[in-house]
């Protein structure tokens, strides 16, 4: 990847800023630059009457911040120098105008629903980690992903790939045949559809930046988050009818190496697989499920996937709240806010009843 990664950190507490900067630099290593946002570097004489959004847009367009890959911002920036009372929403708006991707974080524990319910209308990524090292790792995975998108997107757009975001994203992921499946992650989602950047007749490249952010947010917040097209360790094991612990065996994963996802935001510590390729591997070998396949190839010591609620039932699905394998009978799917393409994502019935109306239907 030849694109130089540049990460800019917004943090209004000096000690915290130093700690997170150090963690970000450690994760990025020599593959780019991490800078703190410092308004005092700029002479804003006569401009402080302007809105925070306008001022931030102007500052971020100048050296040393021009060409930023990713902004990482604390959700509470009220003590920022020269920007007293500022919230992350001002940074988000400035980033949107400039076509810069942004992640927000809060060091105190976030509300539990941030882990599994999308907040697409916020127009940015919410980092789920609270420990500095984990937060930094998550942010750098995001930065590398957006850098990869920025590198590939101009060629894809220039080559005349279909105008729909799903077709563009499918080309970015190297899976043009999955365009229709990707499109299902946007069906009926008015919040997402309303965020698709319009392309003007005289586009100067800003549209490419904006659509790159849009596609990155969609991929991170929906397609990678909710198993269906892609599956994490638990969802893959459940779908294949293999116990999660057994699927984590290196020899087992080697059987499905062909299906490993290596696109934007791929994280070696949190691998994902193409569900369709997994299915192709099983059917090509002539077996009913993944368990039969690995028992034939590696021996009979492997166990089937079990529902975490009732181990007497096979799982097959993934509970997005418990993050465990669950059966069809002990779970609820088809929620209005779950992407249509996330057909392996469900909520355990008891958890659905516990959260009640707060979850939504």
The first and second tokens of residue 158, run together, are 């220039």
pLDDT higher than 50, residue 280: yes
Q: Do 353 and 273 form a contact (C-beta atoms < 8 A)? A: no
pLDDT higher than 80, residue 2: no
Question: What one-character DSSP code corresponds to residue 110?
Answer: P
Helix, strand or coil for residue 13? coil
* Domain extents in the chain: 5-142, 149-223, 230-358
Q: Do 242 and 273 form a contact (C-beta atoms < 8 A)? A: no
Residue 9 parent element (H or E): strand 5-10
Three state DSSP letters for 69-92: CEEEEECEECCCCCCCCEEHHHHH
- Cβ burial of 79 (10 Å; 0-12, 13-18, 19+) is middle
**pLDDT tier, 112 (very low <50, low <70, confident <90, very high otherwise):** low
Q: Is the peptide bond before 64 cis (omega within 30 degrees of 0)?
A: yes
**pLDDT tier, 205 (very low <50, low <70, confident <90, very high otherwise):** confident
Strand-pair partners of 205: none
**Torsion angle in degrees (nearest 10) through CA of 217, 222, 227, 231:** -10
**pLDDT tier, 1 (very low <50, low <70, confident <90, very high otherwise):** very low
Q: Do 53 and 90 form a contact (C-beta atoms < 8 A)? A: yes
Question: What one-character DSSP code corresponds to residue 267?
Answer: -
- Whole-angstrom distance, CA of residue 254 vs CA of residue 298: 11
- CA 87 to chain CA centroid, nearest Å: 23
Q: What is the pLDDT of residues 223-262, one digit of tens each?
A: 999 999 999 999 999 999 999 999 999 999 999 999 999 9
**pLDDT tier, 210 (very low <50, low <70, confident <90, very high otherwise):** very high
**pLDDT tier, 17 (very low <50, low <70, confident <90, very high otherwise):** very high
Question: What one-character DSSP code corresponds to residue 224?
Answer: T
The whole-number pLDDT of residue 331 equals 97
Helix, strand or coil for residue 123? coil
Mean pLDDT of all residues in 270-294:
97
Its CATH architecture, for the domain 5-142, is 3-Layer(aba) Sandwich (3.40)
Q: What is the pLDDT of residues 55-97, one digit of tens each?
A: 999 999 999 999 999 999 999 999 998 999 999 999 999 999 9
- Whole-angstrom distance, CA of residue 268 vs CA of residue 274: 15
Q: What is the pLDDT of residues 113-170, one digit of tens each?
A: 446 554 444 678 988 887 899 999 999 999 999 999 999 999 998 876 557 899 999 9
Instruction: List strand residue ranges (DSSP E) for 65-180, in order.
Output: 70-74, 76-77, 86-87, 101-105, 125-126
Q: Do 272 and 266 form a contact (C-beta atoms < 8 A)? A: yes
The whole-number pLDDT of residue 188 equals 57
Mean pLDDT of all residues in 171-188:
91
**pLDDT tier, 193 (very low <50, low <70, confident <90, very high otherwise):** low
């Amino acid at each position: 990847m030849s694109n130089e990664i540049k990460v800019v950190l917004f943090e209004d507490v000096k000690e915290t800023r130093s700690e997170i900067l150090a963690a970000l630099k450690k994760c990025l290593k020599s593959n780019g630059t991490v800078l703190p946002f410092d308004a005092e570097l700029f002479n804003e004489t006569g401009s402080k009457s302007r809105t925070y959004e306008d001022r931030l847009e102007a500052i971020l367009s100048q050296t040393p911040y021009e060409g930023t890959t990713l902004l990482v911002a604390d959700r509470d920036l009220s003590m920022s120098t020269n920007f007293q009372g500022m919230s992350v929403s001002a940074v988000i708006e400035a980033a949107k105008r400039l076509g810069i991707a942004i992640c927000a974080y809060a060091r105190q524990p976030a509300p539990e629903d941030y882990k599994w319910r999308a907040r697409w209308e916020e127009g940015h990524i919410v980092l789920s980690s609270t420990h500095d090292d984990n937060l930094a790792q998550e942010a750098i995975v995001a930065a590398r992903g957006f850098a990869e998108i920025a590198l590939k997107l101009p060629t894809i757009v220039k080559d005349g790939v279909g105008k729909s975001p799903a077709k563009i994203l499918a080309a970015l992921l190297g899976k043009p045949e999955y365009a229709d499946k990707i499109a299902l992650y946007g069906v009926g989602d008015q919040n997402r559809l309303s965020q698709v950047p319009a392309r003007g007749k005289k586009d100067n490249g800003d549209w490419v930046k904006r659509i790159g952010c849009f596609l990155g947010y969609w991929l991170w917040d929906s397609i990678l988050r909710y198993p269906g097209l892609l599956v994490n360790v638990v969802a893959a094991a459940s779908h294949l009818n293999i116990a999660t612990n057994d699927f984590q065996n290196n020899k087992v994963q080697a059987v499905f190496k062909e299906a490993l996802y290596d696109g934007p935001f791929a994280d070696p510590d949190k691998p994902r697989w193409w569900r369709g390729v997994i299915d192709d591997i099983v059917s090509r070998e002539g077996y009913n499920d993944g368990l039969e396949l690995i028992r034939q190839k590696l021996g009979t010591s492997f166990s089937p996937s079990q529902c975490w609620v009732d181990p007497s039932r096979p799982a097959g699905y993934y509970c997005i709240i418990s993050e465990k394998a669950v059966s069809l009978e002990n779970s609820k799917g088809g929620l209005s806010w779950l992407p249509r393409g996330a057909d392996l994502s469900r909520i355990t019935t008891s958890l659905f009843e516990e959260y009640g109306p707060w979850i939504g239907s």
